[in-house]
Amino acid sequence: MENQKRVKELTEKYGAENVVVIVGGAEAEAVGLAAETVTAGDPTFAGPLAGVQLGLRVYHPVEPEFKEAVDPAVYDEQVGMMEMVLDVDEIIEEIKSIREQYCKFND
Amino acid sequence: MNYAVVKGTSYILVHARDMVIHNGTTQTTERVINPDSEYLKKLPNHLRSFEDAVAYLPNQIYIGNYKPEELEKHPQPWYENPVEGADRFGKYGEIMPEDEFIGLIKIVDTFDLVKLTEEFTNEVKAKLEAHPLMREDLIARLKTGEDISTIEKLIEEQGAEPLLTNGKLVGCVKRAHDVDENLSAHVLLENLVSKASAVLAGLNLIAKNNINPEDIEYVVECSEEACGDMNQRGGGNFAKSIAEIVGFKNATGSDTRSFCAAPTHALIVAASLVQSKAAKNVVVIAGGSTAKLGMNGKNHVEKGMPILEDMVGGFAVLLGENDGVNPILRTDLIGRHTVGTGSSPQAVMSSLVTTPLEKAGLKITDIDKYSVEMQNPEITKPAGAGDVPLANYKMIGALGVMRKDLERSELNDFIKKHGMSGWAPTQGHIPSGVPYLGFAREDILEGNIQRAMIVGKGSLFLGRMTNLFDGVSIMVEKNPGKVEEEKGVSEEEIRKLVAESMREFASHLLQN
């Protein structure tokens, strides 16, 4: 709830085109829910983003788009272990589908 | 170094069926927000009987009647496959039914805050008299009981918390102040439950390990409750209040807090007290929590499962001076999640697991068993929280791959060999690191394993004072059998040495 509020406030302050959300869930389902919240709105209709379609760019750290954008040494130090632990393919498939459906930006 | 040793452990559970309905925060919150909810209507049909709770394999493992390895062999779901001939008493402790426990809450109450009906007092007195660990002086504390109308009046007019068992009102906990929320009946009930379950763990520690309670010099309590009044809300001291009832006459003590990481912090503190000779025998102890009862109840009911979070947990550990036999606690090989560590899972796990290994010159695979957050996955998985121990083992294994201690293809074997399925109830600090300590002691003494790592992690951010996470770890190792003697030199010896040198010098002079 608190995070939804922060995302909403930051988007209002800087504009949706200047905000990228990195979600850190460990399960594809949870990642999908978080991604849906910051694009199509809170699917549980419980928080400040209920019915608010921000359409933000949203990525998970194990996605190639994120991985390529950061220093490989830092990535290895911070994410390397989790990359091995998580079901990377499932997470990517889930978040990508959300992005394709609801993200306002085609890049 | 002369490390402290693990001399004994105890593990207890309390079947708190009615407390799930009346004191678990998921249920109390639901009653405020949505009093007519389907969940609250369905809930009573999903509560287990005491016999079912006793025959539940994870509970049997918790009290030491079966080893954790049994979980892998037992058909799932465990709640549909009861253990034949299960006993409420176990190698490390016991499972207490709710009525006896309500009696124990009265016994540990030193301020006459707990009122029980006369009828219930008589019933429970008979049961506790048959209990092998209840001393006469403890049973005498039950007194004679009250009239039911007095209890009803206290609940209706003075905000007392009702005590129920089998759906029947049998007593109440009074508030201790008209205005102070910290002394409200609600807070006092939580604190008394924590105290009573810790006392039960203490009594079992003495009985199961042949301990003389008078040998205990210090008690470190590590639950997640706060005891105090409006001027010192977390003033403490649970430790001493527990020691008083258990009979640790020669002990003082204090409380250690760090959410779920507290038991491992407490082990480190206690081991340090013993090693520094500040105290010879130190007990680490904690009772359980009513608030967490039925925490994931909505998911369990939704999935047609019994409410598995109907157990209040407790444990106690005795640490003592190195006896050359019992496993040692390596205070020089401690993992610490520091302020500067960072909060990524990798940073957390590295600080807790690989940093002490590096110091010791050991590989990830040199630790035979890792005891992490040993939550029962049958409770957490239906609630969407996954298999917590398994997630931890995957992370530890992945760190091993990164350090080249094992091949990636060996990850699954690593998890099987160095990990365990979880069996502890989701009572915060109760499942954290310590549930395996009893088995670790046994496995090390029997020569099955050389060393284990106890890892405790805590979510400090829940208290809103910091965004930081917390964690500590400590290694438990086979005792090498050497008890080093401290070689001090006495004044007399110095005089003797000086005299000898003078004589030698004098004889040289004479010769010359």
- Predicted TM-score (pTM) of this structure: 0.90
- Taking the CA atoms of chain B, what radius of gyration do you get in angstroms? 25
In a domain, B512, yes or no: no
Q: Are B339 and B14 in contact (CB under 8 A)?
A: no
pLDDT of residue B484: 60
pLDDT of residue B15: 98
User: Per-residue pLDDT for A106 more than 80?
Assistant: no
Cβ–Cβ gap A29/B384 under 8 Å: yes
Mean pLDDT of B291-295: 97
Chain B CB within 8 Å of residue A79 CB: yes
Shortest CA gap B346–chain A (Å) = 6
Give percent of chain B with pLDDT exceeding 70: 98
Of A29, A78, A85, the CB nearest to B344: A78
Mean pLDDT of B134-148: 97
Mean pLDDT of B137-145: 97
Looking at beta carbons, which residues of chain B come within 8 Å of A84? 394, 398, 401-402, 408, 411
Residues in chain A: 107
Best A27, A60, A76, A84 residue to mutate vs chain B (most B CBs within 10 Å): A84
pLDDT of residue B486: 55
Measured between alpha carbons, how far is B484 from A102 in angstroms, rounded to an integer? Answer: 69
Measured between alpha carbons, how far is B458 from B219 in angstroms, rounded to an integer? Answer: 21
Tens of pLDDT along A10-68? 999 999 999 999 998 888 999 999 999 999 999 989 899 999 999 999 999 999 999 99
pLDDT of residue B500: 83
Chain A CB within 8 Å of residue B34 CB: no
Chain A CB within 8 Å of residue B383 CB: no
Identify the weakest region by mean pLDDT among B235-244, B363-372, B472-481, B483-492. B483-492
Q: Are B58 and B95 in contact (CB under 8 A)?
A: no
Measured between alpha carbons, how far is B48 from B366 in angstroms, rounded to an integer? Answer: 41
CB atoms inside a 10 Å sphere around CB B232: 11
Looking at beta carbons, which residues of chain B come within 8 Å of A22? none
DSSP label at residue B29 = H
DSSP label at residue B79 = G
B66: domain CATH number is 3.40.47
User: Per-residue pLDDT for B344 more than 60?
Assistant: yes
Q: Compare all CA atoms of chain A with the CA of B348 and give the residue at the minimum distance.
A: A78
User: Per-residue pLDDT for B444 more than 90?
Assistant: yes
Shortest CA gap A9–chain B (Å) = 20
ipTM value of the model?
0.76
| pLDDT tier at B71, thresholds 50, 70, 90 | very high
pLDDT of residue A18: 95
Q: Are B317 and B451 in contact (CB under 8 A)?
A: no
- Provide the residue type at B61 as one letter: I
Mean per-residue pLDDT over chain B, rounded: 95
Mean pLDDT of B233-242: 97
Mean pLDDT of B211-233: 97
Residue B350 Cα to chain centre, angstroms: 25
Mean pLDDT of A67-92: 93
Mean pLDDT of B300-311: 97
| pLDDT tier at B487, thresholds 50, 70, 90 | low
Q: Are B268 and B436 in contact (CB under 8 A)?
A: no
* Residue of B232, B285, B310 whose CA lies nearest to B16: B310
Chain A stretch 32-71, residues whose beta carbon is closer than 8 A to a beta carbon of chain B: none
Measured between alpha carbons, how far is B118 from B148 in angstroms, rounded to an integer? Answer: 8
Mean pLDDT of B45-55: 98
Chain B stretch 331-370, residues whose beta carbon is closer than 8 A to a beta carbon of chain A: 342, 344-347, 349-350
In a domain, B510, yes or no: no
pLDDT of residue A1: 76
Mean pLDDT of B287-316: 97
User: Per-residue pLDDT for B153 more than 70?
Assistant: yes
Mean pLDDT of B206-230: 97
User: Per-residue pLDDT for B491 more than 90?
Assistant: no
Q: Are B381 and B504 in contact (CB under 8 A)?
A: no
pLDDT of residue B512: 61
Question: For chain A, what are the domain ranges?
Answer: 2-102
User: Per-residue pLDDT for B447 more than 90?
Assistant: yes
Q: Are B107 and B124 in contact (CB under 8 A)?
A: no
| pLDDT tier at B198, thresholds 50, 70, 90 | very high
In total, how many domains does chain B have? 1
Chain B stretch 390-409, residues whose beta carbon is closer than 8 A to a beta carbon of chain A: 391, 394-395, 398-399, 401-402, 408
Range of the domain at B190: 5-477
Strand partners of residue B91: none
* Token pair belonging to A59: 């990525």
Mean pLDDT of B289-296: 97
* Token pair belonging to B298: 């909505």
